[in-house]
Amino acid sequence: MAQSGNDPLHGKTLEFIVTFLVNYYGWEQLGTHIIIKCFTNNPSIQSSLKFLRKTPWARKKVEDLYISVIKRV
């Protein structure tokens, strides 16, 4: 059984991850890293969460960006 201590996403909600990335990059820069309308066109946490929960490929991009950021910090 894999240990959750090695998984950087363990215990992190999608809302936490999006909020972290918005605080780290800001909406404008986040929209340049991941080009999706919920980050570039009238962005909000709630609209982003709604889209990301229904769109696995976009959620994967957000999670991958989060992992790359926390590895640098």
Q: Domains along the chain?
A: 13-72 (1.10.720.30)
Contact, 34 vs 62, CB < 8 A? yes
DSSP 45: H
What is the C-alpha to C-alpha distance for residues 11 and 59, in angstroms, rounded to an integer?
A: 16
Residues 26-48 pLDDT 10s: 999 999 999 999 999 999 999 99
What is the C-alpha to C-alpha distance for residues 58 and 73, in angstroms, rounded to an integer?
A: 23
User: In this predicted structure, what is the pLDDT of residue 6?
Assistant: 85
Residue 58: which of 31, 27, 24 has the closest Cα?
31
Confidence of residue 1 (pLDDT cuts 50, 70, 90): very low
Higher-confidence position of 1 and 51: 51
Task: Say if residue 60's pLDDT is above 60.
Answer: yes
Phi and psi torsions of 60, nearest 5°: -60, -40
Contact, 45 vs 15, CB < 8 A? yes
Task: Say if residue 5's pLDDT is above 70.
Answer: no
